[in-house]
Amino acid sequence: MSATPSFPALLQRFFTDRLMQQRRASPHTIGSYRDTFRLLLRFAQMRLGRQPSQLAFEQIDAPLIAAFLDELQDKRGITARSRNLRLTAIRSFFRYAAFEAPTHAEQIQRVLAIPSQRFTRTQVGFLTRPEVDALLAAPDRQTWSGRRDHALLLLAVQAGLRLSELTAMRRDTVILGSGAHVLVMGKGRKERATPLTRQTAAVLKAWLKEIPANPDATIFPSARGTRLSADGVQYLLAKHVAVAARSCPSLAHKRVTPHVLRHTTAMELLQAGVDRAVIALWLGHESVETTQIYLDANLAIKEQALARTAPPDATPGRFRPDDQLLAFLTEL
């Protein structure tokens, strides 16, 4: 029977063997897990007075991890959602350890039993069609960067891509002609094909003539020819939202991020009557349940359901209390 590996060796193998080779985790996942364990090891070093490379597996127990998570919330002010993400990374390692270090089974079970924190899920933000139209009209298409930004925003809204998927798009992932679509490498390195409308395909076809012809060229380059960064996309989006808000004032009161554009895609598909399972495939969701958040947030669909249950002689629509009732509720 082979000896139980040390904690440092086991942690290294978790990253190199489990995450990188077996699961082929995305760079984003690996980076998130890495940051979690950096924080945990520094905390353990301060709490136990030992260098991370000298820590024993038995020392990384449930009380230490619970104290670590509490400190993140109390001193760093992280949210319950962020706390749960850190705990997810730790749980993943300990599930791996359950097979590699079975002699620590009792300790591992205690760690895996640490509960996630419940939190209030906020409704997803999305743009209305007039807001989308104003945003797409904002870039100055007389300039190279304006044409790039218009193509990027149009693809983001129509295809519902994640920010990382958008910036990773290459010339050879855009398939034009009959059945135009883009090939997207999503979470967990899962590839999907997302169809393009005629308008989006035409805009991308024109834009591709302005960038290098090599197949692996990024389709949304910076002025220096390099791939746009996440911060760069957020900057150009904020700039165009500010311009669009002049003609569509409601945008001035919304926090518009690349993910809000993705939410907008889901909402438009939902309002068009597209089935949740199809939307999940479109967005690259691993589970249909993930798509439920858009249904929960869509007031228009709920009002349609309410109208179907209204008496025949009733006027369908949103309930609007009178002034006396509002005053009564205000005084409660």
Q: Give per-residue pLDDT as tens, 34-75.
A: 989 999 999 999 999 988 889 999 999 999 999 999 999 888
Rg (CA), the chain: 25
Count CA within 13 A, CB hemisphere, residue 41: 17
What was the pLDDT predicted at 277?
78
> Residues of the chain with pLDDT > 70: what percent?
82
Query: Facing residues of 183 across strands?
Result: 193
Of 86, 91, 162, 263, the catalytic one is 162
What was the pLDDT predicted at 286?
60
Over residues 293-310, the mean pLDDT reads 46
Buried b (16+ CB within 10 A) or exposed e, 108-132: beebeeeeeeeeeeeebebbeeebb
Structural domain 7-112, CATH architecture = Orthogonal Bundle (1.10)
Decide: residue 301, CB within 10 A, 0-12 exposed, 13-18 middle, 19+ buried. Answer: middle
At residue 312 the predicted structure's pLDDT band, cuts being 50, 70 and 90, is: very low
Over residues 20-24, the mean pLDDT reads 86
Rounded Cα distance between 247 and 318, Å, is: 27
What was the pLDDT predicted at 270?
81
What was the pLDDT predicted at 284?
79
Residue 322 has pLDDT above 50, yes or no: no
Q: Which residue has the higher pLDDT, 190 or 101?
A: 101
What is the token pair recorded at 161?
């891509």
- In the annotation, is 285 catalytic? yes
> Residues of the chain with pLDDT > 90: what percent?
42
> Diameter of the chain by CA atoms?
79
What was the pLDDT predicted at 291?
47
Domain boundaries, the chain: 7-112, 129-304
Looking at residue 198, its amino acid is R
Mean pLDDT of all residues belonging to the chain: 82
Q: Are 270 and 295 in contact (CB under 8 A)?
A: yes
Count CA within 13 A, CB hemisphere, residue 15: 16
Structure-derived torsion over alpha carbons of residues 263, 269, 274, 279, reported in degrees to the nearest 10: -40
Most confident of 77-81, 97-101, 264-268: 97-101
Rounded Cα distance between 265 and 101, Å, is: 45
DSSP 3-state percent helix, strand, coil across the chain (nearest 5): 65, 5, 30
What was the pLDDT predicted at 324?
43
Of 110, 170, 187, 227, the catalytic one is 187
- In the annotation, is 318 catalytic? no
Q: Give Cβ neighbours of residue 74 (< 8 Å, ≥ 6 apart).
A: none
Of 33, 91, 96, 294, the catalytic one is 294
What was the pLDDT predicted at 189?
67
The structure's pTM equals 0.59
What was the pLDDT predicted at 162?
87
Helices (H), 163-298: 163-167, 198-208, 230-247, 258-271, 276-283, 288-297
What was the pLDDT predicted at 297?
46
Q: Which residue has the higher pLDDT, 322 or 73?
A: 73
Rounded Cα distance between 261 and 254, Å, is: 12
What was the pLDDT predicted at 330?
39
Residue 328 has pLDDT above 60, yes or no: no
- In the annotation, is 294 catalytic? yes
At residue 259 the predicted structure's pLDDT band, cuts being 50, 70 and 90, is: confident
Of 83, 91, 104, 262, the catalytic one is 262
Which has the closest alpha carbon to 236: 247, 249, 223?
223
SS3 26: coil
What was the pLDDT predicted at 188?
63
Rounded Cα distance between 186 and 164, Å, is: 8
Which of 144-153, 179-188, 291-300 has the weakest average pLDDT?
291-300
What was the pLDDT predicted at 121?
57
At residue 1 the predicted structure's pLDDT band, cuts being 50, 70 and 90, is: very low
Most confident of 25-29, 83-87, 118-122, 306-310: 83-87
Rounded Cα distance between 10 and 12, Å, is: 5
Class of domain 129-304 (CATH, top level): mainly alpha
- In the annotation, is 141 catalytic? no
Query: Facing residues of 227 across strands?
Result: 221
Decide: residue 264, CB within 10 A, 0-12 exposed, 13-18 middle, 19+ buried. Answer: buried
Which of 108-122, 212-226, 297-311 has the weakest average pLDDT?
297-311
What was the pLDDT predicted at 210?
92
E strands, the chain, are 174-175, 181-185, 191-195
- In the annotation, is 259 catalytic? yes
Of 110, 147, 181, 259, the catalytic one is 259
